[in-house]
Amino acid sequence: MRCYFHLVNEIEQITDHHGVEVSTIEAAYAQAMSAIVELREEVEKPADLVGWRLTGVDQAGAVLLSITL
C-alpha cells in the first residue's frame, strides 16, 4: 500500500505528494519513526516541533497513524 506522511498542526499542513510503498501498518510506523528522528536532528530548536504531528494516510486519505512530534 502507498502511505503518505503529512506534517500537520492546528494551522497548517505540509503535504507529502509522493508517499512510500509499505507492506503493513507496522512498516508505515517504522518509516514514520525514521522520519521523525531525521526531523529532530535537523531542527535547531526542539520547541519548533511543539504542536506538530506526523500523520500517515493511505491513498484514499484514511488516517493510518498519527504521531506527535
**How many whole angstroms separate alpha carbon 42 and alpha carbon 26?**
25
How many domains does the structure of the chain reveal? 1
pLDDT, average across residues 27-53? 90
Domain span at 22? 2-68
DSSP class of residue 47? Answer: G
Q: 47 or 64, which is more confident?
A: 64
Give the pLDDT confidence score for residue 23 in this predicted structure. Answer: 96
Which stretches of 1-69 are assigned E, i.e. beta strand?
Answer: 2-8, 13-14, 20-21, 53-57, 63-68
**How many whole angstroms separate alpha carbon 50 and alpha carbon 62?**
24
Of the candidates 32, 68, 29, 33, which has an alpha carbon nearest to the alpha carbon of residue 51? 68
